Structure 1
């Protein structure tokens, strides 16, 4: 039986108007406006399968009138507003996008869905799991196309890693190890490169809330659903300075050390260990790297590169603490891995997902990364914090609408 609550196909408009809330912030500006929507607009619009194009018309939404006006003038954008209600009441606005404060997101998305807008949003989608699931139910009932930003699986390194999974390169997958993070200055000698609210729990900050939403969809994409979590969340730097140089108590976690148990489509259990930190100095090729080990091969993927080593090409290292590395082929471990080629043009991951979401919208079909997938990310973050507080492993129940 056909579910008539699903998005319905409609005649593609020549112009798609997208209200973009939070574009004065770092992520909303750089990745979504400057590197996604504006390039598509400036190249003549989104090209569809039949060769036709649909132009995009952004409407900038935010709280700072001066910043919005300057941004609109600089990038030749005709419409901007500080009035969200005006945008939601405008029947010519097709899509509501949100990249503003997480603490305000649930209410904004709920109102946008109620106004009949398609929604595309950053994550987490809500402060609580109940709210995140409620959004998914509302979107399903409204018959709109809803999507959540899952940018990392659209990046070259993760695309290559996923291709190895689909080709059966790993044999039986055994484990995944991930390292993410960098040093975020505390504001005393150098200004912090992240906003201060990220380090205040009362404002929705914390690395678990921020990053476990990412790790959930990455693990689902590479291995399969997360079935349990064991986590330790800590605040290594208890005091920081805000944008005005004033000291404040850092009440949110700035590092998390977690073990996830995931299930493959074949029913195997794979252990994934991921360290996330804003208090670590980078000594790796990229800011985030994932190593997957299997019986038939291993691979290491970052955001852009991916290298692999097959079972038949695996050397036999011998542990000898009395011999220092001499630079020989036998001891140059990085040189023993082969680069995984892209074999295709791989554009900016945010833009690629925007294009996929908009094509789904225009075709009247659901987006594969919907608000329920976002709810699973919120669920994992909450369970991660609970695991840390209770000092025990917690199961991850399956979510359903």
Structure 2
């Protein structure tokens, strides 16, 4: 049995994330490396077919990377028997209909999160995919980052003893767009277009917490719009109707309490754009995108409150780095390889549409908590 070529329709690669992470650093990198090895010893080589609304942008990208096929007609691409997988990195509000069409066409589907605008819609997509017999997955790239892989290694080794708490800080200052262009598309700040940091980031925090520490059972959150006026890509002012910061408390199995701040209105004073501190009875760790450092119970310094001391202790120098001990690939590429194996070899893939629905459930619960000022418990999400 020889190697196989797998047609992958990629919708949304004219955007920054779709182009950089999914097309060039994942699919094209995998293709250049000769494909993904399968359990039977053969390899699967993905062949991208670009899909989008702008013919000029698609033509330019295709020429730049020697991609022979592109189209602005999604229906014609989905009707092509040589296309086995549909990938979606479009604006959130356009994703659900396209994913639904891909499932109806019998394509395996891999999509950015959130896969839909509501938990109900996400569950419906999961049920449709199950009924159609197509494999499905949602991007959950953060747990493939070196820093979080090291953190998961520590948890599995029992390093922390009993985990007590998780504290996360994420964010950076996104320019308003008047005197400097914003680093994120303007739709991110319009609720009517599917924007908002809760809808964007709470699904991330859900799978990070779920896969590393355990299920999330309840949330208390406050979502706010700190910057009410921004300027779009054309320089036109608009009202920001979506939340740009969120402050959440998440209750996990085992009595673990996680506190995570998410903000596009914060200036960075930390080692990386996101950091998580985990404290346990036997030790602690601080993990970012790439790095992780630890402090064991036996080497914990005796901290004493002394506001009159002339010089602060070098607290950050008292931690030890966690070694790599392995080579880490790009997180998006690593998950793409798992999904392609799942499509071709049937290997398990936990990051499916149902997992994506659970992330959406946390986002909806967080927004409800913010509106009502209450703690919201999460019910079990199933396809029954």
**TM-score calculated relative to the size of structure 2:** 0.98
Matched, 1:382 2:367: no
8 Å Cα contact 1:40-1:56 kept in structure 2? yes
Structure 1 segment 241-252 matched on structure 2, within 5 A? 241-252=231-242
Deviation at 1:44, TM superposition (A): 1.6
What SS does structure 2 have at the residue aligned with 1:228? strand
Matched, 1:65 2:55: yes
* Residue 260 (structure 2) aligns with: 274
Structure 1 segment 2-401 matched on structure 2, within 5 A? 14-263=4-253, 268-325=254-311, 331-401=313-383
Matches of 2:332 and 2:114, distance apart in 1 = 16
What SS does structure 1 have at the residue aligned with 2:279? strand
Matches of 1:225 and 1:104, distance apart in 2 = 29
Q: CA RMSD in A?
A: 1.1
1:25-57 C-alpha deviation (Å, 9 max, x unpaired): 011001000100001111222222444322211
Moved more, 107-116 or 301-310: 107-116
Matches of 1:334 and 1:177, distance apart in 2 = 16
Matches of 1:12 and 1:219, distance apart in 2 = 40
Matches of 1:369 and 1:378, distance apart in 2 = 13
1:175-228 C-alpha deviation (Å, 9 max, x unpaired): 000000000000111000000000000110000000001000001012111100
What SS does structure 2 have at the residue aligned with 1:94? strand
CA change 1:138–1:324 in 2 (3 A) is farther
8 Å Cα contact 1:145-1:367 kept in structure 2? no
* Residue 6 (structure 1) aligns with: none
Deviation at 1:365, TM superposition (A): 4.2
Matches of 1:143 and 1:365, distance apart in 2 = 15
What SS does structure 1 have at the residue aligned with 2:83? coil
Would you identify which runs of 4 or more consecutive aligned residues in structure 1 move more than 6 Å? none
CA change 1:160–1:12 in 2 (3 A) is farther
How many residue pairs get aligned? The number is 383
Matches of 1:129 and 1:359, distance apart in 2 = 27
Deviation at 1:13, TM superposition (A): 5.9
Moved more, 133-142 or 181-190: 133-142
Matches of 2:34 and 2:163, distance apart in 1 = 44
What SS does structure 2 have at the residue aligned with 1:399? coil
Moved more, 135-144 or 339-348: 135-144
Matches of 1:361 and 1:269, distance apart in 2 = 37
8 Å Cα contact 1:18-1:95 kept in structure 2? yes
Where structure 2 has 5 or more consecutive residues not aligned to the other structure, the ranges are: none
8 Å Cα contact 1:357-1:367 kept in structure 2? yes
Deviation at 1:366, TM superposition (A): 4.4
What SS does structure 2 have at the residue aligned with 1:397? coil
8 Å Cα contact 1:230-1:384 kept in structure 2? yes
Deviation at 1:104, TM superposition (A): 1.3
8 Å Cα contact 1:297-1:310 kept in structure 2? yes
Deviation at 1:364, TM superposition (A): 2.5
Matches of 1:13 and 1:54, distance apart in 2 = 6
8 Å Cα contact 2:39-2:345 kept in structure 1? no
Deviation at 1:360, TM superposition (A): 1.2
